[in-house]
C-alpha cells in the first residue's frame, strides 16, 4: 500500500510549519488497499460510521475560519483575521511563539470577526486559538499557527522546541526554513547544539527547507540542551542571507515512553523506567489502521476540532465523514493527522475494539472537564517530546519525516542525511 493511496490528496494540500503539519484530524488507510475480507470490513466500517455519527450529533453549527490558512508562511503583516459563521466568537488568543507576548485585537460588535489592532511583526511565528458558540450554546474551537513574511533577500528558520520549554526525551530540534536552502553545509555548520549529557548531536536534511537534529539515542532525562543559531549573514542561496543570531535553550524533563499495543487494545505508560499506568485504548480500525512506530508528541490541545474532510475522508456530499468540534485532550503524533486524544462518544470500545480513522482514543468526558478520565490523566501526565510507540498494528511504520519522528530511522541513515558529516 502506498502513502498516496493511504491519504489521497493530503500531501498536495498541506503545508509544513515547524516540522508539524497543522491539520487536526485522524488519518487512516483503506480496506481496499489491504485486501481484507469485504463482509468483515463492511461490518467494521458500519461500526466506525455509527461511532462517527454519535460524535457529530451534538456538533456546533458555528464554523470558525482563521486566516491565513493553518501552517501558512509569508503572511502579510495585515492579513491575519478570525471569522465565524452560524455563531459568535467568544474568545480569540493570538500569541507570538518566540516572545510569548499576546497580540491585542478586538471582536466586531456582532461577534462575527476579530482582527489584530496593529500590524504584526515580520519574520514571526504566531499561534491562534479561537472559541465560538452557536445559537444553542454549543461550543466550537479552532487552533492555528502561521509565520509572517520575511524580506525577499533574507531567510529565517522556524524552530521547535521553544526557548525555555521543558520537553520529553524524544523531542528533536527541528527547523523549517521559509526559503529553500542550497548551501546546506554552510547553514548546518552555523547551527551548534550541545547538551549537558555530552551526547553527540547530528543534523539530517529531510528536504531543502527542513533540518532536524538529534542524538543517536533519546536525550538523557533531566538534561539541558542549547542551540546557537548563528544564521545572521549566512547565505542560504545566492542573494538570500540569514537574519537570526540567537541562543535557544530547553530542558529535557522526564523520560516517558508509552507503548500502544493495538492488538491488545491497551497502552502502557512507562516513566523513568517505572510503569505508571496501563490504559485501555481504541486505535484505528483495520480499514484505517494506526501507523506502527515511535511517534513524538508535537502539539497539545485541551480541546480541538477534528474534521475528516481535511485529511481526505469525505462523503459524497463533500462533507467530512466526521466533524467533531470539541475533541478533548488531543495530542498530535504525525503531520498527516494522527493524534492520541480523549473520546467521549465511543461507548464500550476501550480495551475491546479498534474503531477510529487512525487515531488512538482514550475514554474521556465531553468538554474535557472530568479530570478522572483516562484521557485527562494521560494529557496531564504528558508533555511535548514524550514518545508514543505503536506496535502490532496491521499498518506499516510511520515515515521519519511525518511529524517529529526521525527516531524511526537508524543512526547510519540519519548521519547520511547530514551535509557536514
- Provide the pLDDT for residue 267: 98
Angstrom distance (rounded) from CA 24 to CA 31: 23
Whether residue 73 has pLDDT greater than 60: yes
- Provide the pLDDT for residue 100: 86
Calculate the dihedral angle through the C-alpha atoms of 58, 59, 60, 62, rounding to the nearest 10 degrees: -160
Q: For residue 414, what pLDDT band results from cuts at 50, 70 and 90?
A: very high
Cell of 12: 498536495
Residue 156 near residue 244, CB atoms below 8 Å = yes
Q: For residue 19, what pLDDT band results from cuts at 50, 70 and 90?
A: very low
Other C-beta atoms lying within 10 Å of the C-beta of residue 370: 15
Mean pLDDT of 185-211: 98
Residue 115 near residue 81, CB atoms below 8 Å = yes
Q: For residue 193, what pLDDT band results from cuts at 50, 70 and 90?
A: very high
- Provide the pLDDT for residue 28: 42
Angstrom distance (rounded) from CA 107 to CA 412: 53
Phi/psi for 95 (5° steps) reads -135, 140
Whether residue 99 has pLDDT greater than 80: yes
Q: Tell me, yes or no, whether 346 lies in a domain.
A: no
Q: Considering 131, 341, 357, 381, which one is annotated as catalytic?
A: 341
Of the listed ranges 96-100, 111-115, 248-252, 261-265, the least confidently predicted one is 96-100
* Prediction pTM value: 0.79
Phi/psi for 4 (5° steps) reads -65, -35
Considering the chain, what percentage of its residues have pLDDT values greater than 70? 83
Residue 128 near residue 92, CB atoms below 8 Å = yes
- Provide the pLDDT for residue 42: 35
Q: For residue 309, what pLDDT band results from cuts at 50, 70 and 90?
A: very low
- Provide the pLDDT for residue 307: 72
Mean pLDDT of 405-420: 98
Angstrom distance (rounded) from CA 208 to CA 356: 34
Starting from the edge strand earliest in sequence, which strands make up the sheet with 173-177, in order?
Answer: 157-160, 173-177, 210-215, 201-205
Of the listed ranges 29-38, 183-192, 219-228, 378-387, the least confidently predicted one is 29-38
Is the CA virtual torsion 48, 54, 55, 59 positive or negative?
A: positive
| Pairing of the two strands 63-67 and 360-363 | unpaired
Q: What is the total count of domains within the chain?
A: 1
Angstrom distance (rounded) from CA 45 to CA 30: 10
Q: Tell me, yes or no, whether 224 lies in a domain.
A: yes
Task: Please give the C-alpha separations between residue 93 and each of 90, 152, 326, 342, 418, in angstroms, as whole numbers.
Answer: 10, 29, 17, 23, 38
- Provide the pLDDT for residue 327: 92
- Provide the pLDDT for residue 79: 95
Q: For residue 98, what pLDDT band results from cuts at 50, 70 and 90?
A: confident
Residue 245 belongs to domain with CATH number: 2.60.40.3710
Q: Tell me, yes or no, whether 407 lies in a domain.
A: no
Tell me if residue 359 is catalytic.
yes
Task: Please give the C-alpha separations between residue 37 and each of 41, 127, 267, 409, in angstroms, as whole numbers.
Answer: 6, 44, 28, 33
Containing structural domain, residue 225: 162-253
Based on its alpha-carbon atoms, the radius of gyration of the chain, rounded to whole angstroms, reads: 21
Q: Tell me, yes or no, whether 388 lies in a domain.
A: no
Q: Tell me, yes or no, whether 213 lies in a domain.
A: yes
Of the listed ranges 70-74, 219-223, 289-293, 301-305, the least confidently predicted one is 70-74
Q: For residue 26, what pLDDT band results from cuts at 50, 70 and 90?
A: low
Q: Tell me, yes or no, whether 290 lies in a domain.
A: no
Whether residue 251 has pLDDT greater than 60: yes
Mean pLDDT of 88-117: 93
Return the residue matching grid coordinates 548531536. Answer: 201
Other C-beta atoms lying within 10 Å of the C-beta of residue 49: 14
Q: Tell me, yes or no, whether 206 lies in a domain.
A: yes
Cell of 235: 547565505
- Provide the pLDDT for residue 15: 28
**Helix (H) / strand (E) containing 50:** helix 38-56
Tens-place pLDDT, residues 229-245: 999 999 999 999 999 99
Considering the chain, what percentage of its residues have pLDDT values greater than 90? 71
Q: Tell me, yes or no, whether 214 lies in a domain.
A: yes
Mean pLDDT of 375-379: 98
Tell me if residue 254 is catalytic.
no
- Provide the pLDDT for residue 47: 44
Q: For residue 74, what pLDDT band results from cuts at 50, 70 and 90?
A: confident
Q: For residue 10, what pLDDT band results from cuts at 50, 70 and 90?
A: very low
Q: For residue 25, what pLDDT band results from cuts at 50, 70 and 90?
A: low
Q: For residue 32, what pLDDT band results from cuts at 50, 70 and 90?
A: very low
Calculate the dihedral angle through the C-alpha atoms of 335, 338, 342, 344, rounding to the nearest 10 degrees: 120
Q: Enumerate residues 6+ apart whose C-beta is below 8 A from 308.
A: 25, 26, 52, 314, 320, 321, 322, 323, 357
417 vs 307, residue with greater confidence: 417
188 vs 53, residue with greater confidence: 188
Return the residue matching grid coordinates 523520560. Answer: 255
Task: Please give the C-alpha separations between residue 152 and each of 120, 148, 149, 155, 185, in angstroms, as whole numbers.
Answer: 17, 12, 9, 8, 22
Calculate the average pLDDT of the chain: 85
Tens-place pLDDT, residues 327-363: 999 999 999 999 999 999 998 999 999 999 899 999 9
Amino acid at each position: 500500500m502506498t502513502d498516496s493511496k493511504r491519504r489521497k490528496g493530503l500531501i498536495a494540500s498541506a503545508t509544513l510549519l515547524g516540522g508539524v503539519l497543522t491539520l487536526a484530524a485522524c488519518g487512516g488507510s483503506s480496506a481496499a488497499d489491504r485486501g481484507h475480507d469485504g463482509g468483515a470490513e463492511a461490518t467494521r466500517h458500519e461500526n466506525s460510521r455509527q461511532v462517527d455519527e454519535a460524535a457529530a450529533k451534538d456538533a456546533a453549527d458555528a464554523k470558525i475560519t482563521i486566516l491565513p490558512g493553518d501552517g501558512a508562511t509569508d503572511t502579510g503583516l495585515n492579513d491575519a483575521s478570525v471569522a465565524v459563521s452560524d455563531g459568535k466568537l467568544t474568545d480569540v488568543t493570538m500569541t507570538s511563539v518566540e516572545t510569548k507576548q499576546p497580540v491585542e485585537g478586538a471582536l466586531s460588535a456582532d461577534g462575527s470577526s476579530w482582527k489584530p489592532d496593529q500590524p504584526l511583526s515580520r519574520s514571526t511565528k504566531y499561534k491562534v486559538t479561537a472559541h465560538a458558540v452557536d445559537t444553542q450554546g454549543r461550543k466550537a474551537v479552532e487552533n492555528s499557527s502561521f509565520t509572517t513574511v520575511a524580506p525577499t533577500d533574507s531567510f529565517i528558520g522556524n524552530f521547535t522546541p521553544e526557548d525555555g520549554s521543558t520537553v520529553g526525551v524524544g523531542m528533536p530540534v527541528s527547523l523549517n526554513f521559509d526559503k529553500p536552502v542550497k548551501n546546506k553545509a554552510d547553514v548546518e555548520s552555523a547551527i551548534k547544539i550541545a547538551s549537558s549529557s555530552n551526547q553527540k548531536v547530528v543534523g539530517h536534511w529531510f528536504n531543502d527547507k527542513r533540518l532536524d537534529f538529534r542524538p543517536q539515542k533519546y536525550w538523557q532525562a533531566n538534561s539541558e540542551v542549547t542551540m546557537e543559531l548563528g544564521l545572521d549573514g549566512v547565505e542560504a542561496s545566492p542573494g538570500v542571507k540569514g537574519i537570526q543570531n540567537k541562543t535557544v535553550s530547553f530542558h529535557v524533563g522526564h523520560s516517558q515512553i508509552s507503548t500502544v499495543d493495538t492488538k491488545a487494545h491497551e497502552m502502557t505508560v512507562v516513566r523513568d523506567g517505572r510503569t505508571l499506568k496501563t490504559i485501555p485504548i481504541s486505535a484505528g480500525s483495520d480499514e484505517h489502521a494506526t501507523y506502527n512506530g515511535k511517534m513524538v508528541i508535537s502539539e497539545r490541545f485541551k480541546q480541538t476540532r477534528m474534521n475528516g474532510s481535511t485529511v481526505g475522508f469525505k462523503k459524497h456530499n463533500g462533507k467530512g465523514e466526521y466533524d467533531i468540534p470539541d475533541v478533548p485532550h488531543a495530542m498530535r503524533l504525525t503531520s498527516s493527522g494522527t493524534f492520541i486524544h480523549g473520546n467521549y462518544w465511543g461507548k464500550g470500545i476501550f480495551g475491546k475494539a479498534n474503531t477510529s480513522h487512525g487515531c488512538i482514543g482514550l475514554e474521556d468526558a465531553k468538554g474535557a472537564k472530568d479530570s478522572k478520565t483516562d484521557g485527562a490523566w494521560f494529557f496531564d501526565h504528558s508533555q511535548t517530546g514524550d514518545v508514543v510507540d505503536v506496535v502490532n498494528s496491521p499498518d506499516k511504520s510511520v515515515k521519519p519525516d511525518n511529524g517529529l519522528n526521525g527516531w524511526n530511522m537508524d543512526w547510519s541513515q540519519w548521519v547520511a542525511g547530514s551535509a557536514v558529516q
